[in-house]
Amino acid sequence: MGTDIVKEQTPEYLFADAVYSFIDLAQLVANRLSKKMFWLIGEAPDGIAWRDVDEK
């Protein structure tokens, strides 16, 4: 498939999976504990936001 594809179990794949797992856990905790949604747009810390679930 070429060199542009990230293969499974490489350091890059494992890092991306860890980042995704952290963001997914933050979203779950925020929603369960405070009815908030976790947003990360751009770079941390400026891109991190917490929004009410009802907010659109």
Give the pLDDT band (50/70/90) at residue 3: low
Asked whether residue 6 is domain-assigned, the answer is no
Q: Count the helix, strand and coil residues of the chain and give each as a percent rounded to the nearest 5.
A: 45, 20, 40
What are 18-50's pLDDT values in tens digits? 988 988 888 888 888 888 787 778 887 788 777
pLDDT score, position 15:
92
Give the pLDDT band (50/70/90) at residue 55: low
Asked whether residue 4 is domain-assigned, the answer is no
Domain limits at 23?
11-52
What is the count of structural domains for the chain?
1
- E strand or H helix at 16: helix 11-34
Nearest to 26 by CA among 12, 47, 7, 5: 47
